[in-house]
């Protein structure tokens, strides 16, 4: 039996941050992870440069059945606090787009920084270690572990933090461990689903667009879902099975099965002026679209929307109603996905441990003293663009300070 003040399960962004802060505050901490290589989500984030936070991160950028839960933690640990930590470790960064911050060099720097912070807190590591069983007895949590460097071991701590993430990207070790622990101790879960994920369409309906896979265009996209209306202006990417890109990843968190998407493929174009300005235009309809759309997409759209006799005619000779119909098809495109690419392509998992079961100040379970949940395992899901990492840092810091 090995005794600690705090046991943290999950050595990802939230787990390492929590262990480091608690250790530096004088607690004896053990950090356990079933993987030998830790921080994989950090490593692959942002194309290998880690989109570690967003300058604009606030409660409005997060989805949850209890939308006010995240306010306290986010207010107490801000993006500026994380930037101060980067400064201490001399990690250079840059803003790429709409407040999204990335390392100048590599995501490995973030992992190394968190490891150094854990070292400063004298955190004990147990990587490659599976937790076979968790029980509560005598005022402490007892973890039966195996397969680590120490062989079989029993760890005991009065405080237990679950930072095991969600179900997204199973190939790097995602599991339902955190949800099982929550259920074991009587906590409710909200329904989990893939989020920040590409959307798919029925094969026959998508056939006209499948050949355009790889094309990207800026769009406005919106839908109505259980969290209210979602609307974003971002780039959309066509794939052989459906839609991806920032616009679609964002809207996927709001979309619900059976729900309709509404897209404007020409958000910068004045389509109302097409009719008034058509006189003297000898180019065909595709010439109206190619300034704003990739040529192959423009041609495919014309073939889809106009009859053969209209496709090659000069714009000046097209009826006003034809131009109006074409404009509406592009600015009010309505489509209904048949699903998503699932957890294997999802960047995060929406849903999880019901926040009404937790203290927003400490992340402690109301029904289980000393049991805390942080990061992605909790029903708090951020937008694309560094928001989910900010929730990891903020929820971890709030928990560690309470510990």
Mean pLDDT of the chain: 95
Q: What are the counts of helices (DSSP H) followed by strands (DSSP E) for the chain?
A: 14, 23
Contact 305, 297 (CB under 8 A): no
Identify the pLDDT of residue 57: 97
Q: Exposed, middle or buried, 118 (CB in 10 Å: 0-12/13-18/19+)?
A: buried
Identify the pLDDT of residue 148: 57
pLDDT in tens, 369-393: 999 999 999 999 999 999 999 999 9
Identify the pLDDT of residue 275: 84
| Tokens representing residue 326 in the block | 């074409």
Identify the pLDDT of residue 149: 57
pLDDT in tens, 75-110: 999 999 999 999 999 999 999 989 999 999 999 999
Taking the C-alpha atoms of residue 150 and residue 175, their distance in angstroms, rounded to an integer, is 23
Identify the pLDDT of residue 288: 86
| Tokens representing residue 304 in the block | 């889809």
Taking the C-alpha atoms of residue 316 and residue 298, their distance in angstroms, rounded to an integer, is 18
Q: Residue 301 above 80 pLDDT? A: yes
In the structure, what pLDDT confidence band is assigned to residue 185 with cuts at 50, 70 and 90?
very high
Identify the pLDDT of residue 150: 59
* Strand ranges inside 10-150, DSSP E: 29-33, 51-54, 62-63, 93-97, 100-103, 124-127, 130-137, 140-148
Taking the C-alpha atoms of residue 398 and residue 37, their distance in angstroms, rounded to an integer, is 26
Give the whole-number percent of the chain exceeding pLDDT 90: 87
CA distances from 143 to 54, 221, 290 (A): 36, 47, 62
Taking the C-alpha atoms of residue 126 and residue 119, their distance in angstroms, rounded to an integer, is 13
Question: Helices 387-402 and 79-88 sit at what angle, rounded to 10 degrees?
Answer: 80
CA distances from 142 to 40, 133, 159, 280 (A): 27, 8, 10, 81
pLDDT in tens, 318-337: 999 999 999 999 999 999 99
pLDDT in tens, 223-264: 998 887 899 999 999 999 999 999 999 999 999 999 999 999
Ranges in the chain annotated CATH 3.50.50.60: 2-193+349-402
Q: How many CB atoms lie within 10 A of CB 187?
A: 20
Assign a CATH topology to domain 199-340. Answer: Elongation Factor Tu (Ef-tu); domain 3 (2.40.30)
Taking the model in full, what pTM does it have? 0.94
| Tokens representing residue 339 in the block | 């699903």
Q: Residue 151 above 90 pLDDT? A: no
Give the whole-number percent of the chain exceeding pLDDT 70: 99
pLDDT in tens, 11-21: 999 999 999 99
Partnered with residue 29 across adjacent β-strands are 6
Identify the pLDDT of residue 225: 82
Ranges in the chain annotated CATH 2.40.30.10: 199-340
Assign a CATH topology to domain 2-193+349-402. Answer: FAD/NAD(P)-binding domain (3.50.50)
């Amino acid at each position: 039996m090995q005794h600690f003040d705090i046991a943290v399960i999950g050595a990802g962004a939230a787990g390492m941050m929590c262990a480091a802060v608690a250790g530096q505050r004088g607690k004896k901490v053990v950090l356990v992870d079933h993987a030998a290589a830790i921080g994989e989500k950090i490593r692959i984030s942002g194309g290998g440069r880690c989109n570690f936070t967003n300058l604009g991160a606030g409660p409005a950028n997060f989805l949850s059945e209890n939308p006010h839960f995240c306010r306290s933690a986010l207010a107490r640990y801000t993006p500026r606090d994380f930037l101060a930590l980067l400064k201490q470790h001399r990690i250079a960064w840059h803003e790429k787009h709409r407040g999204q911050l990335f390392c100048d060099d590599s995501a490995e720097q973030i992992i190394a920084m968190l490891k150094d912070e854990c070292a400063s807190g004298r955190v004990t590591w147990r990587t490659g270690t599976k937790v076979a069983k968790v029980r509560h007895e005598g005022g402490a949590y007892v973890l039966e572990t195996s397969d680590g460097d120490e062989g079989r071991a029993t760890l005991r701590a009065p405080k237990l933090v679950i930072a095991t993430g969600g179900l997204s990207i199973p190939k790097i070790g995602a599991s339902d461990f955190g949800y099982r622990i929550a259920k074991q101790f009587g906590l409710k879960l909200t329904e989990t689903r893939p989020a920040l994920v590409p959307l798919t369409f029925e094969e026959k309906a998508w056939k006209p667009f499948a050949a355009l896979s790889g094309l990207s265009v800026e769009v406005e996209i919106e839908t109505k879902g259980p969290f209210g209306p979602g609307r974003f202006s971002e780039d959309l990417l066509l794939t052989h099975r459906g839609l991806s890109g920032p616009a679609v990843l964002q809207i996927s968190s709001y979309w619900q099965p059976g729900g309709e998407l509404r897209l404007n493929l020409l958000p910068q174009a004045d389509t109302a002026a097409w009719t008034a300005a058509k006189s003297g235009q000898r180019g065909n309809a595709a010439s109206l679209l190619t300034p704003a759309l990739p040529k192959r997409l423009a041609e495919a759209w014309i073939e889809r929307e106009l009859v053969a006799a209209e496709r090659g005619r000069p714009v000046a000779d097209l009826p006003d109603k034809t131009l109006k119909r074409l404009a509406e098809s592009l600015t009010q495109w309505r489509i209904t996905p048949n699903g998503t690419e699932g957890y294997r392509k999802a960047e995060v998992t929406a849903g999880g441990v019901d926040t009404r079961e937790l203290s927003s100040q400490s992340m402690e379970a109301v029904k289980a003293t000393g049991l805390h949940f942080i990061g992605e395992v909790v029903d708090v899901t951020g937008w694309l663009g560094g928001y989910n990492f900010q929730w990891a840092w903020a929820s971890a810091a709030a928990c560690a300070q309470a510990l």
